């Protein structure tokens, strides 16, 4: 994102003797030539948080996330900007909420950046002076394509950083430093990842799996660091990594909404029990597990009748099922494309066949709501799938024939 449009905000802050420093991912992505919409801005020399809110309100809607964290969100020209005060963090308890946070009016950028995870994320950019602030050599590590820890003492305070580091390696095609691998191994061996809420693990694994670009880097990292923690329940670890590699190579055909397909692809050769163990480690989303199980209940076959497709569409989204079939059985890819084409022609590729007869139609016939309603509607739907009824009129006559 071009930050020139934010210049009025920066100029106003400067008039109040406040120095804005853009931090985090935007700076990293700018140097990599990657478009980034995430803008995090640290504000130095802020005397009063309420005064800061008053200054920024003229630019849009403000929302204070938490004064103890010194974070204010501003909606400006359809952008979500995060303004924060420079702070330090220290671990005082278990989990991602077990931190003591101290904000400062006067602190050096280097001191504030000490809490960052990796050097490539510990850079800042002063939009007033156009100066890059790089106290830990992040720019050099970007050029060398290396993931390097900022501070090993504070790094271990948030176990999620292990997964974030793996994610950066496979997404940016960077190599992990020896120090990062050693510290990450120790954290996993000490079961520190078990401190994390499952949903934080789930969201980070999603990024690792679906944004992976460097598979040859991921597998050694997985063996050395993280994924042993998640795959320890599988008997044959080597085979499991091969399946992971296969799944990852096909992941670039998916988007984040299709993570269920990735999981089905990854786990399609595992028993239901092992899949449950795996899910239990990464997520509380029982609906996702049920969705994956439904996909895996169906094995690819060579011929489907129209009735079978209609029935399948009641249980799963056919587009997802055929994508899974295509990825797990590459030899018959053309055949599955034909089935997808057939489903599209029937109008059921992304949804089930809409019922011709509904409850309101039974009411119009003078029937009173009862337990029989469901049975009648199911019979009508079966007749529709078999091609016995095609129109509302035919459906009404069908109902009259047995009611």
User: What is residue 92's predicted lDDT score, i.e. its pLDDT?
Assistant: 45
Distance from chain centroid for Cα 292: 16
* CATH code, 106: 3.30.460.10
**286 within a domain of the structure (yes/no):** no
Residue 293 lies in a domain: no
pTM, to two decimals:
0.74
Edge to edge, the sheet with strand 39-44 lists 61-66, 71-76, 79-84, 39-44, 19-23, 124-126, 131-133
In a domain, 204, yes or no: no
Q: Which helix (H) or strand (E) covers residue 19, if one does? A: strand 19-23
The residue among 92, 119, 138 that closes a domain is 138
User: Residue 126 class from Cβ within 10 Å (0-12 exposed, 13-18 middle, 19+ buried)?
Assistant: middle
Compute the distance between CA of residue 99 and CA of residue 144 in angstroms, rounded to an integer.
33
DSSP-assigned letter for residue 148: -
Return the pLDDT at 203. 85
Residue 132 maps to a domain? yes
> Shortest CA distance to 158 belongs to which of 82, 85, 101?
101
Q: How far is residue 395's CA from residue 365's CA, in Å, rounded to a whole number?
A: 12
Please, what are the averages of pLDDT over each run of 10 residues along the chain (403 residues)?
Answer: 85 92 93 86 85 87 67 84 75 49 70 93 95 97 96 90 88 90 88 84 80 65 60 49 59 67 78 80 81 86 87 92 79 78 92 95 91 92 95 94 83
pLDDT for position 236: 44
Sign of CA dihedral 204, 207, 210, 215: negative
Q: How far apart are CA 341 and CA 325, in angstroms?
A: 14
Q: Give the list of residues 6+ apart from residue 26 with CB closer than 8 angstroms, or none.
A: 1, 36, 38, 39, 40, 125
Beta strand pairing call for 39-44 and 79-84: parallel
- Looking at the fold, whether 22 and 112 belong to one and the same domain comes out as yes
| Domain termination residue (choose one: 115, 138, 161) | 138
Residue 118 shares a structural domain with residue 47? yes
Please check whether residues 48 and 108 belong to one and the same domain: yes
Provide the 3-class DSSP secondary structure of residue 125: strand
Residue 397 placed within a domain: yes
Question: Where does a domain end: 323, 346, 369?
Answer: 346
Residue 64 bridge partners (DSSP):
72
Which residue from 121, 214, 120, 142 is spatially nearest to 173, judged by alpha carbons? 214
How high is the pLDDT of residue 8?
A: 92
Helical pair 318-328 and 306-315, crossing angle rounded to 10 deg: 100
Please indicate, yes or no, if residue 185 is contained in any of the structural domains: no
Pair 302, 398 in one domain: no
Q: What's the pLDDT score for residue 68?
A: 55
- Please give the tally of structural domains in the chain: 3
Note whether residue 224 is domain-resident. no
Domain membership flag for residue 289: no
Structural domain for 375, as ranges:
359-402
CA–CA distance, 56 with 40 (Å, rounded to integer): 15
């Amino acid at each position: 994102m071009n930050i020139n449009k934010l210049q009025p905000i920066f100029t106003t802050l400067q008039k109040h003797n406040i120095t804005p420093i853009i931090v985090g991912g935007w700076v990293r992505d700018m140097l990599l030539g990657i478009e980034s919409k995430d803008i995090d801005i640290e504000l130095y020399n802020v005397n009063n948080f309420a005064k800061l809110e008053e200054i920024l309100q003229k630019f849009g809607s403000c929302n204070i996330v938490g004064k103890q964290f010194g974070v204010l969100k501003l909606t400006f020209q359809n952008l979500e900007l995060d303004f924060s005060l420079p702070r330090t963090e220290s671990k005082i308890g278990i989990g991602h909420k077990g931190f003591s946070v101290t904000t400062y009016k006067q602190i050096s950028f280097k001191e504030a950046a000490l809490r960052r995870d990796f050097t490539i994320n510990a850079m800042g950019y002063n939009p007033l002076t156009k100066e890059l602030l790089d106290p830990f050599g992040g720019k050099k590590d970007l050029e060398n394509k290396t993931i390097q820890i900022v501070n090993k003492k504070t790094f271990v305070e948030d176990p999620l950083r292990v997964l974030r580091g793996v994610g950066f390696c496979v997404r940016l095609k960077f190599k992990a430093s020896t120090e990062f691998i050693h510290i990450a191994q120790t954290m996993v061996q000490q079961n520190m990842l078990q401190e994390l809420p499952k949903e934080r693990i789930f969201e980070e694994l999603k990024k690792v799996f679906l944004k992976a670009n460097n598979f040859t880097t991921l597998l050694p990292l997985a063996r050395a660091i993280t994924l042993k923690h998640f795959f320890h329940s599988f008997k044959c670890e080597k085979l499991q990594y091969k399946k992971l590699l296969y799944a990852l190579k096909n992941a670039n055909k998916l988007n984040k909404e299709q993570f269920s397909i990735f999981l089905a692809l990854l786990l399609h050769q595992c028993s239901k029990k092992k899949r449950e163990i795996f899910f239990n480690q990464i997520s509380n989303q029982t609906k996702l597990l049920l969705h994956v199980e439904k996909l895996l209940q169906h094995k690819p076959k060579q011929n489907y009748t129209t009735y079978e497709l209609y029935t399948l569409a009641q249980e799963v989204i056919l587009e997802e099922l055929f994508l899974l079939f295509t990825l797990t059985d590459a030899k018959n890819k053309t055949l599955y494309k034909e089935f997808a084409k057939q489903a599209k022609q029937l109008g059921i590729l992304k949804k089930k066949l809409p019922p011709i007869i509904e409850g309101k139609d039974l009411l119009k016939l003078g029937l009173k709501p009862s337990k029989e309603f469901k049975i009648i509607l199911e019979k009508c739907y079966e007749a529709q799938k078999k091609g016995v009824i095609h129109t509302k009129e035919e459906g009404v006559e069908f109902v009259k024939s047995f009611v």
